Structure 1
């Protein structure tokens, strides 16, 4: 049923964590709150950033939606961890949902991230503990740059900018692996490298599946005429689109390189097979006349004049050796061996 709140991710038994940051140009407060304190989040003289860690408790999500007047369809998208990147605009708030990627100990962690931006408040929803926004929190805490002087729309841009930067960092990691594979293919080819190429291809294709709709969502964000987006924030949103386009183009470049690597691998394997078949063919051709001679003198006729000749056997071997050596020399002269 449309608007029903159903969590589609893994179930957890831990409580939903509510992390709150409230700030203005001169003040900064950071705390962890309970659902009962949601009414104290929004203050007229401060911007509030509420980070919701954990989506499994739909009652808490519903309570957040009721407190901040978030549309039920938005909450439904928030709870759908398989939701493709989207930009969904409503009268007094908008939703931006995407995949948040981070590299942890060489492993890429993928997690659904939803950002709801309203007047003087921004709410981020994530599935589990840990994110990539410590840099943004540090800028807010130390009042670095313009972030403390701007509204919630700029904070939303700052969060999306970090997401895109991590996409770029991860695709560059994959790019280094792809380039190393390209160099290895010039030296030697083995079956293990084919497995590695296919694994990287799978990861790059997965990134491509995330980035293509993400780019469309950012285009929609740039085209939005929402009053929540200040005029002075729009140049930053255009810059965000340029970064996303660069990520998308980088993915396409590496996909083409991966396909070239696969073609190179298959070409090497085909050449190896052709070399083996060539050797087998040459030996088959050499043995055809030898088999013919052996077949003639192996017939069980009663009268074969050569068989009674005293030197017939050594002459037979001399002919066989001469034919074989002659054919080998001929093939070498033709560079077939």
Structure 2
């Protein structure tokens, strides 16, 4: 708008003549059919009847024209939104908070005109395929786009969170909640925590912060009349939104920890038929949560470095940052434990294979002398003295049993070393 105003040839006092104002309107595709219509419009725009148009009057006129176009009944009639947009902020209100649920393109464009939101910020809001959070500070406002995760069932993840915390604090002589579960209960609970059952897909949350407006998707803490959110500025409201987004990640992380403990318990109960793919699926869930935390941490770091958040507000953002760091560390601990669990599984399988190889080697070692003796005394030479003994058959078995006993004793001695 500043560039468009400068193209309309303002005078030295940064004021537009009526002709310059009319040419500026025509430059953006707004033409008056007659001089009478233009004069009537100018009389409304020029409040002080100075014969010139200031920048604020020019901006207000363009804003009113765009709003009139967007609220045209042929576009989409929404009367209560129209009355709200044209209303003034109450004197007692320090922050105007506007909540838009869902993606209403027309409504967002109407609000963008009313509150002079930057086109790039509006584009980021309407582009749902964005994967990373984004924070941009423009001349008249700041834009914050977040990807939020939520538990599908808060009661379920809270229950698993409590069980996981209890398992971390249990004494060695006591049983944790997971130690009391049998195979059937473990299978049932693990099916309950499969991919897609714990947390939702990321949802986009867009905020525009300026002197008098905030668009977001959060209402919970505003409902309490004595809460700090209602008493402080938009900076504290932004922190509250970030804090809620971070708080919802903690029970999800610890639910994955509970799932890990149950997988470990199931592997101990059923080592031969344990499905290693379950560990891989659980690892994917943790990595998805970790990938969500890292860009969110970067956004909070940008907010901390911003000039808009200082003093007490900075301490609140630092607290959210510390909590997010704790969640990331929990995710890393889960991944380390998953890798350890895979290693234990592979070691158990290798031990089983070694046991099988040991048994096969023992059997082969026992029957090798038998094959040798059978081959010797099975030859067709007529003069083999031992073949003429009356008890030769029993002697052969006695020798074989003695050799087998010596071989087994040898293997046991070697295995014990």
TM category, shorter: 0.7 to 0.9
More strand by share: 1
**2:117 matched to which residue of 1?**
70
Task: Name which of 98, 107, 115 aligns with 2:207.
Answer: 115
Q: Which one has the largest radius of gyration?
A: 2
**2:165 matched to which residue of 1?**
none
Shift in alpha-carbon separation, 1:118–1:325, aligned structure 2, 3 A:
same
SS in structure 2 of the partner of residue 108 of structure 1 = coil
Give the distance between the partners of 1:85 and 1:145, measured in 2 at CA: 27
TM-superposed CA distance for 1:158, in Å, is: 0.6
Contact 1:38 1:64 (C-alpha < 8 Å) held by counterparts = no
Shift in alpha-carbon separation, 1:201–1:40, aligned structure 2, 3 A:
farther
Shift in alpha-carbon separation, 1:237–1:41, aligned structure 2, 3 A:
farther
Give the distance between the partners of 1:297 and 1:42, measured in 2 at CA: 114
Task: Name which of 206, 211, 226 aligns with 2:293.
Answer: 211
**2:347 matched to which residue of 1?**
267
Task: Name which of 223, 226, 242 aligns with 2:322.
Answer: 242
TM-superposed CA distance for 1:324, in Å, is: 1.5
Q: How does 1:131-280 map to 2 (within 5 A)?
A: 133=218, 135-139=220-224, 143-182=225-264, 189-192=271-274, 194-226=276-308, 229=309, 231-280=311-360
TM-superposed CA distance for 1:118, in Å, is: 2.1
Give the distance between the partners of 2:106 and 2:295, measured in 1 at CA: 30
Shift in alpha-carbon separation, 1:113–1:305, aligned structure 2, 3 A:
same
Please give the per-residue CA displacement for 1:246-291, whole angstroms capped at 9, x wherever unaligned: 2222222222222222222222222222222222222222222222
Give the distance between the partners of 1:48 and 1:33, measured in 2 at CA: 20
Count the aligned residue pairs.
293
Give the distance between the partners of 1:147 and 1:169, measured in 2 at CA: 24
CA RMSD, 1 decimal: 2.9
Please give the per-residue CA displacement for 1:294-326, whole angstroms capped at 9, x wherever unaligned: 222334556544444443333222222221233
Task: Name which of 124, 127, 133 aligns with 2:216.
Answer: 124
TM-superposed CA distance for 1:77, in Å, is: 2.3
Q: Which moved more, 1:186-195 or 1:235-244?
A: 186-195
Give the distance between the partners of 2:83 and 2:364, measured in 1 at CA: 87
Q: Which moved more, 1:324-333 or 1:182-191?
A: 182-191
1:324 is aligned to 2:404: yes
TM-superposed CA distance for 1:152, in Å, is: 1.9
**1:26 matched to which residue of 2?**
none
SS in structure 2 of the partner of residue 115 of structure 1 = strand
1:84 is aligned to 2:132: yes
Unpaired runs of at least 5, structure 1: 1-31, 126-132
Shift in alpha-carbon separation, 1:68–1:181, aligned structure 2, 3 A:
same
Give the distance between the partners of 1:40 and 1:196, measured in 2 at CA: 57
TM-score by length of 1: 0.76
Give the distance between the partners of 1:192 and 1:40, measured in 2 at CA: 65
**1:39 matched to which residue of 2?**
85
TM-superposed CA distance for 1:186, in Å, is: 5.6
SS in structure 2 of the partner of residue 97 of structure 1 = strand
Task: Name which of 291, 296, 300 aligns with 2:376.
Answer: 296
Give the distance between the partners of 1:41 and 1:307, measured in 2 at CA: 119
Q: Segments of 4+ in structure 1 off by > 6 A?
A: none
Unpaired runs of at least 5, structure 2: 1-77, 157-197
Give the distance between the partners of 2:79 and 2:395, measured in 1 at CA: 104
Contact 1:38 1:67 (C-alpha < 8 Å) held by counterparts = no
Give the distance between the partners of 2:314 and 2:381, measured in 1 at CA: 101
Shift in alpha-carbon separation, 1:48–1:333, aligned structure 2, 3 A:
same
